[in-house]
Structure formats: C-alpha cells, structure tokens
C-alpha cells in the first residue's frame, strides 16, 4: 500500500524513483531488453523484456498506486485496453455481465464484440435505478461494469450500494468501475468497494491530448495477477516514452482540474440562464446532485446540454472558434462535440434510439482558458447559430 503520509496534492507531484545517478526526473528506459545476471536469473531488478516490465513503467505504476492509494496498478496503452484486459482475464463463454445503458460508445462496442466472439451474455440496465439493479443482479452475475457520471448523459450511479449488494448476492462478482470522468482526485471507487478501478489516462491524467494510456487499479493480489497475465501475454503495457510523458502530465492534474471545474461551473450557469437543459453534477438542478457529492469531491469538467433542435446544435458547434470540434476530454484546451455523431457513433443508431439518446445533445469538455473568452466564444456561436437557423426557415 502506498505511503499516505503526504496529502494527495503533494503525492501527485512527488515521484519516488531510483536510477543510480540521482536524476531528479525519472529517466526513460528506452530499452526492450535487460541483461541477465546469469542464465538462471533475470537482471538485478527482475527485468528481462519490456513487454513484461520496464523501469519507467514501474515508476509510473508505483506513482499511480500512491495517488490512488491502492495496492496494485498496471498501465496499458489505452482506456479501451483496460477494459479488454479485464474482459479477457475474467470472462468465459456463457458468463453474464451487467452494464449501463448509457456507457461510453467504445466500451459498448467492445462489450458487444465479446458477446459475439466469446458468447458472453450482456444485459444493459439503467444503472441509476438502484431497485432495478437489485432486481437484476443474481448469483450468476459474473461482472458489473459501472460508469459515473456517465459519458455524455452525466447520470450518477450509486456505486457503494450496487457494489455491496452485488458482493452479497455473489461474493465472486467482479465490480468494475470506469473512473475516466472523475479521476482519482475526485473519486476513489476502490474505497467504495469496487474490485477494479480503471480509467482512460488519455484524458485528465495526462491532460494534454498527446498520448493514449489506461490505468488499472485494485487491492486484491489474485485480481492483480490475472490482469498482469493478460497484459504480459498480449503486450498491452504502456511504452517507456508514453509512461514518462504520463508521469510528467500527472504532476499538474490537481491545478488543471481546479481551473477546469471552475470554468465548467461558470459555463453551466451561463447555459442554464439561457434555458437550455444542462446536465452537470455541479448544478443543484442535477437530479442526483446529493448522491454525486456523497461519493465525489467535485463535479468534474464535462457538461452536456440539449438545445431542442439538432440543426441548432450542429450550427452552434460549427460556429465555435475557441472550442475545438473534437472527441475526447480532459485536455487543457476546451472541446465541443455532438456525441450522437462523434464519440457515441459506434453504438447502433437503433440502440441509441431505444435508449432515448438525445440527438441534439452537445458535450462541452472544459479546459483552462480564460473563462471570459470561453463564454464569449459560446455566446457568439449561439447567436450566429440562431440567426442561421432562422434564415433557413
């Protein structure tokens, strides 16, 4: 277990490492092989091949264990690789899995790939409905995948209640939590009882949209071993240079998030005043505001809003200049997107319709820019969009 002596804001900056040369910053071990001491042993520090382990990756993993305050972490080459490793490690044909109805599009796509390929039974339910969840979890439920707040509908799930109920019904049920939206600074899913916490480090943890990475965390030795087996066997461990960049990016996580949340809150208030239906856990109008703050320390910096008209939404996005039109979130710069056609386009349109996915939903991922510039950009885009829409009528 990591040393909890320092507070989290100190732990994210203080990287412990030893390289033999007293380098202040952990070096990049850009080497695939490590010389063995003899044919019967590995190198002095137990490395032989970077797929199995690399000192830069080890430094990052220990650093993340200290931030998350957990026993084991593994870093892999994307958030989706985390889910792939988990499903490969724990599911076999005919196993039953429960997941949310509005989980991230890429997760939905991967689950259904496993369903077709390995005959896993996947049931999607409204994970925000605790009673419904309790009625669906059985002793045959092998794995539950939760996300909160969900991307992009910003629904909140009662993680502690669902997890303890699942463990009561089936002590071997693995509850997995995707913490990409919150990061370890705002939420600690392992403390809420989940078995595996994973997140896309491509987002907030790295924060600069220049690497893909994923983090897996757990406290159970057996689970950690099974995860490592797949990572080592398939070679999904994060490369040394990307590990080094992630160590660097992590150091500013706290101050980035602070500013991003502050900006996001102001944008949410601005949009709510314009009478858009705004989904943001920082707003008292969010129906699960209290639940969210009972399990998280902050609202995060992703909001979504409905304009009531898909054309209007498209025109708003088109007219933004400072907000880039792109998928992803968690970067220092602000982004705008239409999830239906972008991040969630991998879900069958028929399924999205069945799940009442709002077609006009705009997602904002808020960065650290000056808030006045962000509000002006959006204000200008909304004004131009309304004018263009009226001209077309």
Ligand X SMILES: N[C@@H](CCSC[C@H](N)C(=O)O)C(=O)O
Ligand Y SMILES: Cc1ncc(COP(=O)(O)O)c(C=O)c1O
Site string for ligand X, 57-96 (x = CB under 6 A): ----------------------------------------
The minimum distance between CB 14 and ligand X, in angstroms, equals: 30
Give the DSSP letter of residue 360: T
Chosen from ligand Y, ligand X, none, partner binding at 299 (C-beta under 5 to 8 Å by type): none
Point out which span in 112-120, 157-165, 206-214, 322-330 binds ligand X (CB under 6 A): 322-330
Chosen from ligand X, ligand Y, none, partner binding at 114 (C-beta under 5 to 8 Å by type): none
Among 151, 158, 183, 206, which residue interacts with ligand X (rule: CB under 6 A)?
Answer: 151
Task: Name the token pair of 167.
Answer: 């463990």
Q: Which residues pair with 75 in a beta bridge?
A: 215
**Is residue 59 a contact partner of residue 15, using CB atoms and an 8 Å limit?**
yes
* Short-list 242, 268, 306, CA closest to 78: 242
Query: E strands along the chain, which residues?
Result: 72-76, 96-100, 121-125, 141-147, 174-178, 196-200, 214-218, 277-279, 302-306, 324-325, 335-337, 361-365
Q: Which residues pair with 141 in a beta bridge?
A: 96
The minimum distance between CB 33 and ligand Y, in angstroms, equals: 28
Q: Which is nearer to ligand Y, 175 or 382 (CB)?
A: 175
The minimum distance between CB 239 and ligand Y, in angstroms, equals: 14
Q: Which is nearer to ligand X, 15 or 342 (CB)?
A: 342
Q: Which residues bind ligand Y (CB under 6 A)?
A: 78-80, 104, 106-107, 147, 151, 178, 180, 200, 202, 212, 214
The minimum distance between CB 329 and ligand X, in angstroms, equals: 6
Q: Which is nearer to ligand Y, 98 or 201 (CB)?
A: 201
Chosen from ligand Y, ligand X, none, partner binding at 212 (C-beta under 5 to 8 Å by type): ligand Y
Q: Which is nearer to ligand X, 271 or 365 (CB)?
A: 365
Q: State yes or no: residue 327 binds ligand X (CB under 6 A).
A: yes
Q: Which residues pair with 145 in a beta bridge?
A: 99, 176
Point out which span in 163-171, 189-197, 267-275, 324-332 binds ligand X (CB under 6 A): 324-332
Buried b (16+ CB within 10 A) or exposed e, 172-211: ebbbbbbbbbbbbbbbbbbebbbbbbbbbbbbbbbbebeb
Chosen from ligand Y, ligand X, none, partner binding at 178 (C-beta under 5 to 8 Å by type): ligand Y
Q: State yes or no: residue 331 binds ligand X (CB under 6 A).
A: no
The minimum distance between CB 154 and ligand X, in angstroms, equals: 12
The minimum distance between CB 136 and ligand Y, in angstroms, equals: 22
Query: E strands along 137-276, which residues?
Result: 141-147, 174-178, 196-200, 214-218
Integer Cα distance of 17 and 60 in angstroms: 9
**Is residue 215 a contact partner of residue 63, using CB atoms and an 8 Å limit?**
no
Active-site positions?
A: 51, 104, 178, 203
Strands 361-365 and 302-306: what pairing? antiparallel
Q: Which is nearer to ligand X, 310 or 327 (CB)?
A: 327
Q: State yes or no: residue 104 binds ligand X (CB under 6 A).
A: yes
The minimum distance between CB 180 and ligand X, in angstroms, equals: 7
Among 197, 343, 364, 385, which residue interacts with ligand X (rule: CB under 6 A)?
Answer: 343
DSSP assignment of 25-93 equals: SPPP---SB---SSTTS--TTS--BTTT--HHHHHHHHHHHHHHT-SEEEEES-HHHHHHHHHHHH--T
E strand or H helix at 113: helix 105-118
Q: Which is nearer to ligand X, 333 or 346 (CB)?
A: 346
Which residues of this protein are in contact with ligand X, per CB under 6 A?
A: 104, 106, 151, 327-329, 343, 346
């Amino acid at each position: 277990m990591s040393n909890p002596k320092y507070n989290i804001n100190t732990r994210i900056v203080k990287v412990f490492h030893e390289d033999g040369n007293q380098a202040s910053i952990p070096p990049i071990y850009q080497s695939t092989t490590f010389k063995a001491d003899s044919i019967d042993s590995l190198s002095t520090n137990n490395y032989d091949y970077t797929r199995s382990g690399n000192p830069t990756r080890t430094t990052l993993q220990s650093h993340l264990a200290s931030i998350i305050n957990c026993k084991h972490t593994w870093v892999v080459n994307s958030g989706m690789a985390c889910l792939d490793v988990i499903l490969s490690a724990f599911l076999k044909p005919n196993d039953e899995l429960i997941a949310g109805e509005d989980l991230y599009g890429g997760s939905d796509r991967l689950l259904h790939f496993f369903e077709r390929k390995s005959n896993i039974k996947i049931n999607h339910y409204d994970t925000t409905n605790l009673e419904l969840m309790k009625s669906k979890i059985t002793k045959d439920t092998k794995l539950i995948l939760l996300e909160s707040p969900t991307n992009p509908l910003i629904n909140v799930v009662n993680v502690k209640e669902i997890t303890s109920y699942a463990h009561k019904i089936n002590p071997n049920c693995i509850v997995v939590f995707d913490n990409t939206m919150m990061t370890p600074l705002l939420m600690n899913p392992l403390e809420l009882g989940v078995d595996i916490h994973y997140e896309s480090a491509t987002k907030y943890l790295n924060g600069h949209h220049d690497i893909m990475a994923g983090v897996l965390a757990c406290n159970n030795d057996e689970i950690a071993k099974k995860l490592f087996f797949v990572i080592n066997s398939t070679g999904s461990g994060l490369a040394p240079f990307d590990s080094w960049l992630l160590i660097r990016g992590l150091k500013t996580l706290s101050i980035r998030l602070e500013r991003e949340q502050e900006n996001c809150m102001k944008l949410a208030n601005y949009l709510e005043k314009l009478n858009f239906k705004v989904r943001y856990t920082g707003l008292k109008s969010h129906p699960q505001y209290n639940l969210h703050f009972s399990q998280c320390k902050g609202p995060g910096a992703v909001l979504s809003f409905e304009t009531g008209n898909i054309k209007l939404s498209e025109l708003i996005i088109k007219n933004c200049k400072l907000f880039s039109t792109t998928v992803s979130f968690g970067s220092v710069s602000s982004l705008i997107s239409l999830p239906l056609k972008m991040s969630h386009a991998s879900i069958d349109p028929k399924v999205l319709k069945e799940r009442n996915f709002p077609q006009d939903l705009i997602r904002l991922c808020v960065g650290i820019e000056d808030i006045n510039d962000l509000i002006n950009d959006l204000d200008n885009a909304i004004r131009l969009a309304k004018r263009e829409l009226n001209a077309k009528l």
